Chain A
Amino acid sequence: MSTPTTAQTPETGTARVKRGMAEQLKGGVIMDVVNAEQAKIAEDAGAVAVMALERVPADIRKDGGVARMSDPNMIEEIIEAVSIPVMAKSRIGHFVEAQVLQSLGVDYIDESEVLTPADEINHSDKWAFTTPFVCGATNLGEALRRIAEGAAMIRSKGEAGTGNVVEAVRHLRQIKNEIAKLRGFDNNELFAAAKDLRAPYELVKEVAELGKLPVVLFSAGGVATPADAALMRQLGAEGVFVGSGIFKSGDPAKRAAAIVKATTFYDDPKIIADASRNLGEAMVGINCDTLPEDQRYANRGW
């Protein structure tokens, strides 16, 4: 039998290809890494992707100053070192940093509140890129505004670099509760809901019908233990970003592998218990209620 072949021209950078990429990451852990060596540890531990950045959020907090896109050399070294997808962060609204990251061939761009915002009014137009974007959100309206701007994946903001999961829990519950509320609205009410959410009506209607965001929803910000990761999944996150929690801990390789296990078997306390044994010291952590307002990254972006 002869094999048929395709004729049509392939199309890159479509919404389906961008959102579809995030679907492939579901059930997985994306780990912050600052060099090729850490990237390899993350890949060995079963990470589905790594986030390449110069300093993990805990160090950005400690050092202060303006946090920017990472050195292209460092990002390229990480791309070379691993076979899994590599993400990198641009500042909010800094579309030139995003252009640079796209030209380096990263697989996903995180327009991130962890870096110092470059624009206090506008986020980047993410439709203009072939590379897909993930953005943080603290509530449904914020998530939908980012999707309207072209984000192909959403994550909770949490409070990065604190090792404290409380804000990620708050954001995820907020998003889920607001979606549940939309489900109960009739068509008349959806117009007012869109106005309240400050989000496009079409997206609000889509969420009301689907009962979920039209893109993948991950958790980020403050996950430090296997149980934290499993908690976020039980609360409805489809996967987990871990920033400072791994490489600021006593035994990164072991903790990374443990968080991967707990993310897959998030509903099996026995497996989470086994994964939690003898991990050494967790990162120290910061109590979010003692954080001054101007040091709360979740307030960045709008």
Chain B
Amino acid sequence: MSTPTIGVLALQGDVREHLIALAAADALARPVRRPEELAEVDGLVIPGGESTTMSKLAVVFGMLEPLRERVRAGMPVYGTCAGMIMLADKILDGREDQETLGGIDMIVRRNAFGRQNESFEASVEVAGIDGGPVEGVFIRAPWVESVGAAAEVLARHDGHTVAVRQGNVLATSFHPELTGDHRVHGLFVDMVRAAQ
């Protein structure tokens, strides 16, 4: 079985936790901050963090277009929380100048579950993940307001869509990288292998 090389977009956010989770899921994991580093990876994780900061830095450092091109060309991408926002074709409650990469035909509402005091943990059943529910850590988390026909809803919490897949692009509102349970990263590593 091949070992794919998977990058973690390292402009800002919980990069370290994703690198650890990917390594535990049998991928070669490395941080990606520059276009030439992006060119060397088979798949990419967009971590949790502050989506407005990430978007701004992606523009300033010329990463936005290279990222969009790779996503359009079918590179597997997985986004958690802020990463989910980056992968949405459309966002609500973002900043007016906030850029996303797109990749999933969905509308995502930023900070939809509330501020930090409303942040929570709950177990979440995710379609395609065997062995029981995953522990969902939701931090000022977004939810998916609506999805297009091509996108598949993988999980809901309290009636709101919190995990979506469209082709090679996967997004969750919650943070599996903070739990030590690497099954969602395992699913993504399998997606990257299948795309090779």
Contacts and interface: CB of A to CB of B under 8 A. Distances in A.
B156 A6 contact: yes
B50 A20 contact: no
Contact of B11 (A12, A17, A23, A27): A27
Interface of B: 10-17, 33, 48-50, 52-53, 56-57, 60-61, 81-82, 93-95, 110-111, 115-127, 133, 136-140, 152-159, 175, 178-179
Contacts of B121: 10-11, 14, 16-17
B16 A28 contact: no
19 contacts: A4-B155, A5-B159, A6-B125, A6-B136, A6-B157, A8-B122, A10-B121, A10-B157, A21-B140, A23-B17, A23-B178, A26-B13, A26-B49, A43-B52, A83-B111, A84-B50, A102-B117, A131-B116, A131-B117
Given A12-B119, A264-B33, A6 B158 contact: yes
Contact of B10 (A25, A27, A102): A27
Contact of B156 (A3, A12, A105): A3
Contacts of B139: 17, 20-21, 24
Contacts, number: 153
Contacts of A6: 122-125, 133, 136, 155-158
B178 A28 contact: no
Interface residues of A, number: 44
A126 to B, nearest CB: 14
B117 A27 contact: no
Given A21-B140, A83-B95, A105-B115, 17 more contacts: A1-B152, A4-B126, A5-B159, A6-B125, A8-B122, A12-B119, A17-B137, A20-B119, A21-B116, A23-B14, A23-B178, A24-B49, A26-B14, A28-B53, A102-B117, A264-B11, A264-B33
A265 interface: yes
Contacts of A23: 14, 17, 48, 178
B137 A16 contact: yes
A102 B155 CA distance: 31
* Secondary structure dominating the interface of A: loop
Contacts of B110: 83
A12 B117 contact: yes
Nearest to B123: A8
B95 A43 contact: yes
A5 B159 CA distance: 8
